[in-house]
Structure 1
Amino acid sequence: MDFLNYNLFLDTLDITLVGVLLYYVYKLLKGTVAINIFIGITIVFLMYKITQALKMEMLSGILEVLVGGGAIALLIIFHPELRKFLLMLGSANISSKRSFIKQLKFLKTEINTEIDSESIVSACIKLSTTKTGALLVIERNNNLDFVKQNGDYMNAEINVPIIESIFYKNSPLHDGATIIKDNFITATRVVLPLSEKVLPNRFGLRHRAAIGITERTDCICILVSEETGKISLIKDGEFELFESNEDLLDKVKGYLV
């Protein structure tokens, strides 16, 4: 009886852990193109298990071939997500006071500290009217310490005047990106990794840098073009232009909820 209870406990634990894993993978991929592929792969795997249990040898054999090549397919399809995960592990300071479990922030989708989105957007709008180039990187779940180290560390609470002063054309801090975390500006003059994508000629180094960092992490970037004054929001390597300031503010708030 104890043996049966033990096996039942293991089966229950196994199913629970698989459910938790699938739930967090879904949350990680939610809102990306990869979510549809993930759902498709999950359906194929479940069909394989069902046909195997029902001893449908021909169909299960076909599905087994598909599942067998799934590991290689996952590496190819989910390359950006795997890259983010490995980059997070490589940049995590496990020896610090925070535990390794706390470093696994990629499993979370909620941002606990409220960021002053209004001040960020207001500052970008003012910069756009004077065509002052700016690149703000808002850290979400993935740690950005690996890029902060090549910039200047700062610990200043967000407000409109300080963002304007950083990107003022004669300011020594205006070059590079400014990183925001937990409603504080934590680094300035940060050199970001550049994207290897082929971009239109009108895109400069700021655009390439914004795409590059959002391809590697889950941060969002707000960019003010020095040539046109237009404001762009960049997430997962994709650009969004906004004609309405209200739409931009709503979008930023939505990503930081």
Structure 2
Amino acid sequence: MDKFNFWDFGVIDFIDVFLVAILLYYIYKLIKGTVAINIFIGIIIIFLAWKLTVFLKMGLLSQIFSGFMDVGIIALIVVFQPEIRKFLLMVGSTNLSSKRKFLSQLKFLKTEEQNQTDIDCIIAACTKMGSTKTGALIVLERSNNLDFLTGTGDEMNIGVTQPIIESIFFKNSPLHDGAIVIENNIVKATRVILPVNNEKNIPQRFGLRHRAAVGITEKTDALAIVVSEETGQISYIKNGEFVMFKDTIELSELVKKDLA
């Protein structure tokens, strides 16, 4: 077999490597911080063990690992069902006709000149609304395009500030029902209707806002911040799970890290 020659590495090979790198990056983004990352690492270990047994010509073990890998694809579909759904949604929602939107999908290519969401003012608004027990549901868009949701509400193009968020969710405001969607420090839409999760067991103290937050963060990679109308408590939901935090300072740091 001919040896690999570096000088034979052409444009197609570069594109091949680049696309594989993007694919691996998206997979990492989808499973980062979830239980699936441990399963993924376990699969890699089994794959490497299989290749090692083949290399060492360990017939019995290699056949066992080979049989496991043959049927493993079905198990992967079952285990990674939520992640596969998110990945397909991510691919389907990529808007190639808009250069800005396409770059927003490739977050690792973002430049410093692009606006970053002002998390501190969002948290400050949530703290103020919590003190008055004003309910709120804020969805922060990440890689997945949420334009399919904005059509259910009123499309906006407003810069994010603390007074703007508080005025939107003010109890007498016509915009306070539903969720708001924020992308790159812009309120894209208000009064957005989100899919409600009725399958997961959520404590009864949490209402429809929390179920909606769980639903949208399960189906997409978006983040959600909820202010309870009953208790004034602030909740942070990611990947369909409640993320615990000690105070608003830690909450702000968590959200900033997840949006990075």
TM-score between the two structures when normalised by the length of structure 2: 0.86
Equivalent pair of 2:180/2:192 in contact (CA under 8 Å): yes
Report the 3-state secondary structure (helix = DSSP H, G, I; strand = E; otherwise coil) of the residue aligned with 1:118: helix
Tell me whether 1:199 sits opposite 2:199 in the alignment.
Answer: no
* Match status 1:74 vs 2:76: yes
Deviation at 1:42, TM superposition (A): 0.7
Distance change in 2, residues 1:80/1:161 (3 Å): same
Give the root-mean-square deviation of aligned CA atoms.
Answer: 2.9
Cα distance between partner residues in 2 of 1:22 and 1:92: 17
- The answer for unaligned runs of 5 or more in structure 2 is none
Find the counterpart in structure 1 of residue 66 from structure 2.
64
How far off is 1:201 after superposition? 1.9
Aligned length: 251
| Pick aligned residue for 1:231 from 230, 234, 250 | 234
Call closer, same or farther: CA 1:17–1:54 in 2, change over 3 Å.
Answer: farther
TM (normalized to structure 1)?
0.87
Moved over 4 A (4+): 3-10, 13-19, 21-24, 107-112
Which residue of structure 1 aligns with residue 50 of structure 2? 48
How far 1:52 moved relative to its partner?
Answer: 1.6
Task: State percent identity of aligned pairs.
Answer: 53
Q: Confirm or deny that 1:211 pairs with 2:214.
A: yes
Label 1:55 to 1:32 Cα distance change in 2 as closer, same or farther (>3 A): same
Q: Displacement of 1:162 after TM fit?
A: 0.6
Structure 1 residues 111, 136: CA separation in 2 closer, same or farther (over 3 Å shift)?
Answer: farther
Q: Are the counterparts in 1 of residues 125 and 163 from structure 2 also a CA contact under 8 Å?
A: yes
Q: Does residue 136 of structure 1 match 2:138? A: yes
Work out whether residues 117 and 185 of structure 2, in 8 Å CA contact, stay in contact via their aligned partners in 1: yes
CA apart distance, 1:109: 6.1
Between the aligned partners of 2:224 and 2:110, the Cα distance in structure 1 is 16
Superposed, 1:1-257 pairs within 5 Å as 4=3, 20=21, 21-22=23-24, 24-94=26-96, 96-98=97-99, 102=102, 105=105, 108=107, 113-195=115-197, 196-257=199-260
Label 1:210 to 1:109 Cα distance change in 2 as closer, same or farther (>3 A).
Answer: farther
Once the two structures are superposed, what CA deviation does each residue of 1:177-216 show, in whole Å capped at 9, x if it has no partner? 0010001111000001111323222221101100000001
Q: 1:187 to 1:85 in 2, by over 3 A?
A: same
Instruction: Tell me if the contact between 1:180 and 1:186 (Cα under 8 Å) persists in the aligned partners.
Output: yes
Q: Distance in 1 between matches of 2:103 and 2:50?
A: 35
Shift of 1:131: 0.1
Hey, what's the Cα distance between the residues in 1 that align with 2:210 and 2:204? Answer: 11
CA separation in 2, counterparts of 1:23 and 1:145?
A: 23
Provide the secondary structure at the position in 1 that maps to 2:202: coil
Aligned in 2, Cα 1:111/1:207: closer, same or farther, shift over 3 Å? Answer: farther
Summarize the Cα distance change of 1:109–1:135 in structure 2 as closer, same or farther, 3 Å threshold. Answer: farther
What is the SS of the residue equivalent to 1:218? coil
Conserved? CA contact 2:103–2:110, under 8 Å: no
Question: Displacement, 1:98?
Answer: 3.8
Aligned-pair distance for 1:63?
Answer: 0.3
| Contact 1:92 1:103 (8 Å CA) reproduced | no
Q: Deviations over 1:84-123 (max 9, x none)?
A: 11222333445x33499x3893x65687642111110000
Alpha-carbon separation, structure 1, partners of 2:187 and 2:48: 46
Structure 2 Cα separation of the partners of residues 9 and 57 of structure 1? 36
